[in-house]
Amino acid sequence: MHLSSLLLCCALSLGALVKCAAGSEWCYNGCEYTPSHWADIPGVFCGENRQSPIDIVTANVQTDPQLLNFNFLNFSSQHVFKSIKNNGHTVKCILEDNEVEVSGGGLDGTYSIIQFHFHWGITELHPGSEHMIDGHRYPMEMHIVSLKKGLSEQNATDDSEGIAVLGFFINATDDGDMSGPWNEFISSLPQKDKEVDINATISIDDLIGNVNLTKFYRYKGSLTTPSCNETVVWTVFQEPINIHKQLVQMFPIMAGFINVYRPTQPLNGRDVFASPGTPLPPSHSWCYEDEPCEYKPSHWHLLPHSECGGKSQSPINIETRETVSDEHLDAFTYTKFDDKHAIMHITNTGHSVKCVLKEDTVEVSGGGLGYVYSTLQFHFHWGSENSDGSEHKVDSKRYPMEMHIVNKRKDLTLEKALETPNGLAVLGFLIEAKDAHNSNSERETHPTSDIDPWKKLTSYISAIRNISSEVHVTDGISIDDLLGSVNRVEYYRYNGSLTTPSCNEAVVWTVFKESVKVDENLMMMFPTLAGYHNVYRPTQSLHNRIIYTTTSASSAPVPTILLLLACLCAFSYNLHL
């Protein structure tokens, strides 16, 4: 017998077939080899790089469209449970050979299920699931263990995907069935070192209950007990099995031991994926001041890869008396700002409402920028029903809203642009309420559009009330329509950053002096329909930066020149500022 298979058999979890001859004893507590010392056991893999369990940080999880539905064979059969064994580390239900299978769910082929077992703590006072979700540990976890069909236990540990484990969290509830299949199952749990045949008529489906089996996470990891072989394709279902807390409490009592779970292990750069049906948070775990989350603006600098603590951050308060005139700040050239079909879709990012433009269509140049920039998207910052929410302030005045038109240097990829001091150019427009008595509309440059373009735009917000949802724009709305007659020649200029994490200091900022005027009721649609408010970052220190301003000489309107430039490149992007 090889050393590895000897250790594996000692170790556990897979089978009950081979009796363990000798080898190092491991445990969860009260012996030499507790989890932090498992790696010291000769011949094990517990100190390697793809270990399980892990904390699943949903903000870092990526959706994988390949993770389609599972196919389960004989999960509803009431004749597949063979025996239950208590090996001192867990209680394990051994299944009839070659009866129960799982395939699909993004697994590579069919896997034969051999057993399932449990991990627990001490009742709900000290939860004992192995995996965690965003730092939350459930009371228990069930592992359904399967081997790639045709492989022996030994061969399965030689294949990096030889074993598939289906992990289910178990949640303790105050109410629920006290006499159903879980009661029957727990009542038959044997004492330490005992094995009992099971004569109950229970199926795996009876235990899983109504957990949604299309919502799951996937990553590559290991067995969670020595030898910790790195041969496991993990599936962790998002929804827990809810069972009555009195039944959860029975587990340690029946089994005779507590706290049988391994602490979470480092991810070491591994990817964690989610099936398409699994709800994920809109982006990262950052938020604005009014929302509950781990990283509010004052803590954004602690986020991974964050530049939010840098010395050229945005937004800022623009002290107009301190600004310096710069005659190089000439007029902009706007390309396709009048294209009524350039807006592809509108999406609710969970932090803003963002209008994504067709690739390589809209452009901006001139304005002292020195480069041609491709317009990627525009989005909004707002306050609440009774407070203003622009990001930039002018002479300490905050405006009701702010619109950001985000542009990327055309000669750079987005990745490169984010690392280049002028890789991005953002045009910021402050937004104020239209004065109802002052018939401003006569000045509008597009009298042909009889419906207010802002009315058209805001009408889409009700279709994206769910975070991460998007809607295609079918009405003709151009950026020119939205900007109306606002003066686009007078502006402030400074070097700054993105105003959301990672706050890359890659932005040449333009803040226009005149505000865009929008009907107050339409402005209210943003906080009301999106469901969140005060989505703006507080102003940041200037740190010796100079704010430049267009000279008053250039304030005379300059005719708009439309310049059609060849589209040279195609990028995909999804940038929120």
Ligand X SMILES: *[C@@H]1O[C@H](CO)[C@@H](O)[C@H](O)[C@H]1NC(C)=O
Residues carrying an active site annotation: 89
Nearest distance from C-beta of residue 480 to ligand X, angstroms: 26
In Å, how far from its chain's centre is CA 438? 46
Neighbours of 178 (CB within 10 A): 11
Site string for ligand X, 190-229 (x = CB under 6 A): ----------------------------------------
Choose among 306, 312, 266: nearest CA to 286. Answer: 306
Choose among 228, 234, 226: nearest CA to 271. Answer: 234
Binding to ligand X (CB under 6 A): which residues in 62-101?
A: 73-74, 77, 79-80, 99
By beta-carbon proximity to ligand X, the closer residue of 49 and 469 is 469
Per CB under 6 A, the list member of 404, 493, 533, 537 interacting with ligand X is: 493
Q: Which does 577 bind (CB under 5 to 8 A by kind): ligand X, Zn ion, none?
A: Zn ion
Region of 14 on the Ramachandran plot (φ > 0 left; ψ -120 to 50 alpha; else beta):
alpha
Per CB under 6 A, the list member of 273, 332, 494, 532 interacting with ligand X is: 494
* Residue in the shown chain whose Cβ atom is closest to ligand X: 77
By beta-carbon proximity to ligand X, the closer residue of 53 and 496 is 496
Side-chain half-sphere of 572: how many Cα atoms within 13 Å?
0
Per CB under 6 A, the list member of 4, 5, 83, 173 interacting with ligand X is: 173
Nearest distance from C-beta of residue 8 to ligand X, angstroms: 28
Contact flag: residue 548 with ligand X (CB under 6 A): yes
Tokens of 149: 């069909």
Contact flag: residue 354 with Zn ion (CB under 5 A): no
155 by DSSP, 3-state: which? helix
Q: Are 419 and 451 in contact (CB under 8 A)?
A: no
Binding to Zn ion (CB under 5 A): which residues in 131-190?
A: 143
Contact flag: residue 131 with ligand X (CB under 6 A): no
Contact flag: residue 522 with Zn ion (CB under 5 A): no
Binding to ligand X (CB under 6 A): which residues in 33-62?
A: none
By beta-carbon proximity to ligand X, the closer residue of 96 and 339 is 96
Nearest distance from C-beta of residue 354 to ligand X, angstroms: 16
Binding to ligand X (CB under 6 A): which residues in 143-172?
A: 171
Q: Compute CA distances 366 → 330, 363, 371, whole Å.
A: 7, 10, 7
Q: In this structure, what DSSP letter does residue 443 have?
A: G
Size of the site for Zn ion (CB under 5 A): 3
Sole window of 309-317, 340-348, 397-405, 516-524 interacting with Zn ion (rule: CB under 5 A):
397-405
By beta-carbon proximity to ligand X, the closer residue of 215 and 341 is 215
Site string for ligand X, 429-468 (x = CB under 6 A): ----------------------------------x-xx--
Contact flag: residue 392 with Zn ion (CB under 5 A): no
By beta-carbon proximity to Zn ion, the closer residue of 331 and 388 is 388
Q: How many H-runs (helices) and E-runs (strands) does the chain carry?
A: 9, 32
Nearest distance from C-beta of residue 398 to Zn ion, angstroms: 14
Contact flag: residue 332 with ligand X (CB under 6 A): no
Question: What are the phi and psi torsion angles at 149 (to 5°)?
Answer: -55, 130
Q: Which residues of 417-442 are buried (b: 16+ CB within 10 A; e: fewer)?
A: bbeeebbbbbbbbbbbbbeeeeeeee
Per CB under 6 A, the list member of 31, 546, 561, 568 interacting with ligand X is: 546
Q: Which does 171 bind (CB under 5 to 8 A by kind): Zn ion, ligand X, none?
A: ligand X
Question: How deeply is 77 buried, as exposed, middle or buried, from its count of CB atoms within 10 A (0-12, 13-18, 19+)?
Answer: middle
Choose among 482, 480, 426: nearest CA to 457. Answer: 482
Q: Compute CA distances 393 → 400, 502, 527, 533, 546, whole Å.
A: 10, 22, 20, 18, 16
Per CB under 6 A, the list member of 58, 495, 528, 551 interacting with ligand X is: 495
Tokens of 345: 């879709």
Residue 52's contacts (CB-CB under 8 Å, 6 or more residues apart) are 130, 131, 221, 222, 223, 224, 232, 234, 262, 265
Q: Are 318 and 547 in contact (CB under 8 A)?
A: yes
Contact flag: residue 135 with ligand X (CB under 6 A): no
Contact flag: residue 246 with ligand X (CB under 6 A): no
Nearest distance from C-beta of residue 367 to ligand X, angstroms: 11
Interatomic CA distance for residues 436 and 440, integer angstroms: 8
Interatomic CA distance for residues 339 and 242, integer angstroms: 53
Q: Which does 404 bind (CB under 5 to 8 A by kind): Zn ion, ligand X, none?
A: Zn ion
Sole window of 108-116, 255-263, 400-408, 429-437 interacting with Zn ion (rule: CB under 5 A):
400-408
Residues lying near ligand X in the complex (CB under 6 A): 73-74, 77, 79-80, 99, 171, 173-174, 240, 242, 421, 463, 465-466, 469, 493-495, 546, 548
Residues that bind Zn ion (CB under 5 A): 143, 404, 577
